[in-house]
Each structure stands twice: as structure tokens, then as C-alpha cells.
Amino acid sequence: MVKIRKTLIAANWKMHKTVGEAANFVKDFLPQVVGVAEVDMVICPPFTCLPYLSAGLKDSCVQLGAQNVFWARQGAYTGEISTAMLQDLGCSYIIVGHSERRHIIGENDLIINRKLKAISEAGMVPILCVGETLPEREQNQAREVVRLQLEQGLKGVAAPELVVAYEPVWAIGTGINANPADAQEMTGFIREYLAILYDKTWAEGIRILYGGSVKPENIAQFVAQPDVDGALVGGASLDAHDFARIVRLNSNA
């Protein structure tokens, strides 16, 4: 199957790795992905590793992303980080609406919408995470939950470049990945709904990722789905060898 959209594999390190650990990762990882041109790679480390990675990944084909951002460009917002600060460090992507921020920190769709507007105004690329909880799936509400997250999150957002990550909450960090056919069903639905919200041709070009217990052993089954254009990888992105195998879509190495 030939896909029109280039595969994107993004690492979400979450609250892991000191600068020294990030340096070791880069040293191990980069030689393993030399010559990988058919996949776009992004690493989203904690803020504290961004300056180091900005320099360490400079001449590589790996792009840099952030795990969070605040919506104002500057001001009295103790503890927050702006799009301008992230751009200054060479970040192109920003994860927004991750389920850990929704469920642990309490971020709602209004906050997510403000962040998406700020990212779009800055010309950066949001990776908007959406996904249902297990009770919501069991009650057949997965589509409606995801539809509402998209509708409310993207309200009034001009998103020339957008990445959506479908991450069922019950699959994140649990070792229980979604069935690839279910991931296709949901990513296909997301693309159809984006076509309604925006435009069909634009929606055809948008990359939609799957996230939730992606491993070297299952990545190929996900990207084989017509509407799954890559993955957002948490736990398995912390190990340079495993992440390189995922980027190579290779379960055997």
C-alpha cells in the first residue's frame, strides 16, 4: 500500500530523563537511524532537556517537540513556557491535550483550545491527543467522546498543519494496545470528522497517529492501517534501541 502521507513517529518521554540520560540516548539512537528518510522522527523530551537536544539533534534528521505550552506569548504566568521560548530552542511540534494532562492535571477542552490557537498563531505544529476511557468505550461512546474533543479543541483554530494522535486512555502505559482494526476505525472516523470541520482535501493530508503501548513488535500492524500515519510512543521511546526499531518499523532487529 502506498500512502500519500509521510509516516511520523513521535517520542513522548513524559517526565523521564535527566540531561545526562538524554545525552546517552542521543549517542545510542542517532547511529541506529542514519539513512532513515521515509519516516519523520520527533522527540518530545521534558523542557529541561530541550536546550541540550536542540544542539544534540541539530545536524540530524530528528526534529524536536515539546510536551506542553502555555497560551500567552509572555507575562506573569509563573512556571509556564511560551511558544516563543520553544521556537527559540528549535521546537517544531507541541503535544496538546494528552490524556495525562486532561485526567491528572485537569486540562479541559477550553484550555486545550487556547493552546491550539497559540500554537497555530506561532506557526508551530500541534500534536492534538484525543481518546476515550475504558468505560466510555464499553458504553459505545468512543466516537462521540473523540468527536467532542475535536470539535471543542479545534473551535476557531486555523490549523494549516495539524497532527492528531488517537490515544485510547486504557491503552496508555498499560501494555494493552488497541486492536489495529479498532485503531483504523477510530482514525478513519477522525479523518471523516476533520473533513466536516474543515475540508476534505485538507483532511486527506493530515497525519493521524495511534498511541498507546506501541512497541517494536506491534508498530508495523498499526502503520499498515490506511488511516494510521504513524505513532506517538511513550514507554518504548525511552530506550534508544527499541525506539530505533519502531522508527524502522522493524520488529526483528
Residues that bind ligand PGA (CB under 6 A): 12, 167, 172-173, 211-214, 232-236
List 107, 132, 136, 167, catalytic entry:
167
Least Cβ distance, residue 67 to ligand PGA (angstroms): 9
Q: What are the E-state strand segments in the chain?
A: 7-12, 39-44, 62-66, 91-96, 125-130, 163-166, 207-211, 230-233
Whichever of 62 and 232 has its CB closer to ligand PGA, that residue is 232
- CB-based burial label for 74 (10 Å; 0-12, 13-18, 19+): exposed
The secondary structure of residue 157, as a DSSP letter, is: -
Give the residue with the Cβ less far from ligand PGA, 194 or 219: 219
Report the SS3 class of residue 91. Answer: strand
CB of 9 to ligand PGA, least distance (A): 11
Secondary structure letter of residue 101 according to DSSP: I
Annotated active-site residue 241? The verdict is no
Which residue minimizes CB distance to ligand PGA? Answer: 234
Is the CB of 192 or the CB of 218 nearer to ligand PGA? 218
* Rounded least distance, CB 177 to ligand PGA, Å: 8
| Alpha helix ranges (H) inside 50-199 | 50-56, 83-88, 99-100, 109-121, 134-138, 142-153, 180-197
**DSSP letter, residue 105:** I
- Residue 26 or 172 having the CB closest to ligand PGA: 172
Residue whose C-alpha is closest to residue 81's, from 129, 113, 46? 46
103 included as an active-site residue: no
From the candidates 98, 100, 132, 136, which is the catalytic residue? 98
Q: Supply the minimum distance, in Å, between the C-beta of residue 5 and ligand PGA.
A: 19
Instruction: State the catalytic residues.
Output: 98, 167
